A and B are shown apart, each in its own frame.
Chain A
């Protein structure tokens, strides 16, 4: 079976056009390797790409961990994870970070009892899914039921809003994501806190970290399972070796410095799938 074109979904986050440009080199390599037209999509909201993978119109994409789990639950035969980005320190993931205002006196989840806690977007891995599963395991008696351990549990809508809400004192503590590398006072090297600091919206002196999740695996690069095996092999090899063949391109594709990509399988995401299943009705 031949393919007529190859469609790549690119994880949003940064400026879409920047991402498209960063991926341009990968597109060119793909076109060369497969000999078909390559189209790339970099939406801000990832639903379209997830549906495209399920419907068979998107062939390759870099998904978030939770998004991957969502696709997997909906149709285990739709995609397979092939590669994952390796951080500069050799790790695979990032963290969900719980934080509060320093002047509130809160230093850990213990102090949060009877306080208002905020998640970000219910669709986010680090802003909701993982903390909502992991925080109740912190100690006995912690639950995410509003009015139980916490006085209230709110959704702020997104990482940025959580940071603003905590900083403004609208909520006592919240979760957001960070790579966990570098120093707290800088807002870490990467993540929502760092962006807020750079934008001048918060001062890290005012905030403290109160909780940190286990490493959350980065999302995988997935290929549509129905693709011909040779296409899958070619694409996997292409991306895997990108760091060696064209470091500048790899920098763009990985959205920053990395040690390249490593193979990965579905097994790495089973816990996330389980977490997501637990959240379903």
Chain B
């Protein structure tokens, strides 16, 4: 191996150098390609311009709305009637019996005390806003003259917006708007308002301790049942309906995912190279999967609504259609990776074809199968969000509506938290099931 092999070794050296050089090229080309692409997208999407145009104050408005609520004190300037309501909602309207402490209503006047030491007085058409560190803003409106104030229109602070018809003063503690039609004060508070009980409920403003251990609050019901009923039927947060919506979401995901798995498994054999020898069959099966996948669940929902109308079954079927496409692809890939030795071992005992699949193939693909199905179950729980918007059910409907109507971001965050918790629960459940079934306890 010494002298005679020398030329051969030299040849090997050259080949190895070339090999490494080629790998180096590929190894460098891929990141370079990705970088180049990112650069292209950077300019195509105009990231720089976008960064300048970004409006972070909007984000702050939205985000702060997720953890705070506002109570609206409104005077209808035509009728002179006052209304105090949480988020300005009918269902959150205070009456004389439970008026919050910071607002004092009298005949055609209201006095509002703010947390930061300021105060707002509404006296008929006159409003006085005492802003700590700035002074008192006085404004009045009339049908003929519009809005008039004591402010110098030339030197308005940037948190005041004034026109002939409208005054808006936005401070951290409260926002005041004054127009011909109404005088409104929005007072911000931390938390989710009326989350447990609405104002009508006798349990409103009672602590948990009082409800659990205290005297009977509502003579008609025991504290626990009463509190539960009022919580569950809370007219603003609708915990009961939300729970049902969550269930409907899981139901759609469950039916869709497992239905798809049952349909896709036999079809996947037709698309796997090692089980369907006929190329035509294989191509047909794969194109079928592509087709099913190519149409988003959302569109399947619309298509299927014609036959089945809106409702959770339509949503489940839509998921079944798309997921059959995804599962078909994933399962057939798993089938292409099966180890032929096991099948041969079973075949050599004289097993019938079905038995060969049952014992030679299925045990091998069960882990892939199970983990994919569980993963899709979880991810469909999330997709059911959007499908629910069309089928008219599920947490998705609540979520999309809360977002689209932009009413209350705290509701949006409530639903998101629920979805996140649900997904996490499904995740731990699927982990448990996988350990149980695949790893054999």
A55 to B307, CA, bound (A): 6
Residue contact A200 to B61, C-beta cutoff 8 Å? yes
Give the distance to chain A from B323, nearest Cβ to Cβ, in Å: 19
Q: Of all chain A residues, which has the CB nearest B391?
A: A48
B48 to chain A minimum Cβ distance, whole angstroms, is: 16
Contacts of B389 in A (CB 8 A): 43-45
Question: Closest chain B residue to A42 by CB distance?
Answer: B392
Given contacts A52-B310, A168-B53, 10 further A-B contacts (CB under 8 A): A42-B392, A49-B392, A52-B306, A52-B309, A158-B404, A186-B181, A199-B61, A203-B161, A205-B163, A205-B166
Residue B149 at the chain A interface, CB threshold 8 Å: no
Question: In the bound complex, do residue B391 and residue A15 qualify as a contact, i.e. CB atoms below 8 Å apart?
Answer: no
Question: Among the listed B161, B181, B314, B404, which residue makes an inter-chain contact with A48, where contact means beta carbons less than 8 Å apart?
Answer: B314
Interface size on A, residues (CB 8 A): 46
**B186 with A200: CB separation less than 8 A:** yes
The list of the 3 closest CB pairs from A to B, nearest first, reads A57-B309, A43-B392, A51-B305
* Residues of B contacting A262 in the complex (Cβ-Cβ under 8 angstroms): none
Chain B residues with CB under 8 Å of A92's CB are none
**Contact assessment for A44 and B400 in the assembled complex, using a CB-CB cutoff below 8 Å:** yes
Chain B 400-411 near chain A by CB (<8 Å), digits 1 or 0:
111011110001
CB-CB contacts below 8 Å: A171-220 with B: 182-186, 195-201, 203-206
Cβ A198 vs Cβ B400 within 8 A:
no
Known: A48-B390, A170-B53. A17 touches B238 (CB 8 A): yes
Residues of chain A contacted by B162 (CB below 8 angstroms):
205
Q: Is A9 engaged at the interface, CB distance under 8 Å to the other chain? A: yes
Q: B-side interface residues toward A, CB under 8 Å? A: 53, 55, 58, 61, 65, 88, 161-163, 165-166, 168, 170, 175, 177, 179-182, 186, 238, 241-242, 245, 301-303, 305-311, 314, 388-393, 397-398, 400-402, 404-407, 411
Cβ contacts under 8 Å, B163 to chain A:
185, 205
- Chain A residues contacting B406 (CB-CB under 8 Å) are 160, 195-196, 199, 201
A7 proximal to B (CB < 8 A): yes
Q: CB distance A13 to B306 under 8 Å?
A: no
CB atoms of A13 and B405 under 8 A apart = yes
| Docked CA distance A158–B401 (Å) | 13
- Check A205/B390 contact, CB under 8 A, given A164-B58, A195-B405, A200-B61: no
> Once the chains bind, are B165 and A183 in contact (CB under 8 Å)?
yes
Chain B contacts of A184 at CB under 8 A? 165
Residues of chain A lying within 8 A (CB to CB) of residue B302? 47-48, 51
Interface residues of A (CB under 8 A from B): 7, 9, 12-17, 20, 39, 41-45, 47-52, 54-55, 57-58, 158, 160, 164, 168, 170, 182-186, 195-201, 203-206
Q: B305 touches which one: A15, A42, A52, A164 (CB < 8 A)?
A: A52
Q: Which residue of B lies closest to A49 (CB)?
A: B310
Measured in the bound complex, the distance between the Cα atoms of B414 and A17 in whole Å is 15
Q: Name, among A50, A55, A198, the residue most crowded by chain B CB atoms within 10 Å (CB to CB).
A: A198
Asked whether, in the complex, the Cβ of B390 is within 8 Å of the Cβ of A43, the reply is yes
Give me 30 A-to-B residue pairs in the complex whose CB atoms sit less than 8 angstroms apart, sorted by A's number. Answer: A7-B309, A13-B405, A14-B405, A14-B407, A15-B398, A17-B238, A41-B392, A41-B393, A43-B389, A43-B391, A44-B389, A44-B401, A47-B302, A48-B301, A48-B309, A48-B310, A48-B314, A51-B310, A52-B305, A54-B306, A55-B307, A58-B309, A158-B404, A168-B55, A183-B179, A186-B166, A195-B407, A198-B88, A199-B406, A206-B161
Which residue of chain B has the shortest Cβ distance to A74 in the bound complex?
Answer: B306
Most chain A CB inside 10 Å of its own CB: which residue of B61, B397, B411: B397
Task: Please give the distance in Å from A69's CB to the nearest CB on chain B.
Answer: 18
Known: A17-B238, A44-B397, A205-B161. A9 touches B310 (CB 8 A): yes
Complex partner residue of B65 from A47, A168, A182, A199, CB under 8 angstroms: A199
- Which residues from chain B contact A205 at a C-beta distance below 8 Å? 161-163, 166, 168
- B164 to A, closest residue via Cβ: A185
Chain B positions within 8 Å of A199 at CB level = 61, 65, 406-407
Q: Name the contact of A51 in the complex, choosing from B245, B309, B405 (C-beta under 8 A).
A: B309
| A43 in contact with B310 (CB, 8 Å) | yes
The reply to whether A160 and B306 contact each other, CB–CB distance below 8 Å, is no
Give bound CA distance, A164 to B163, whole Å: 21
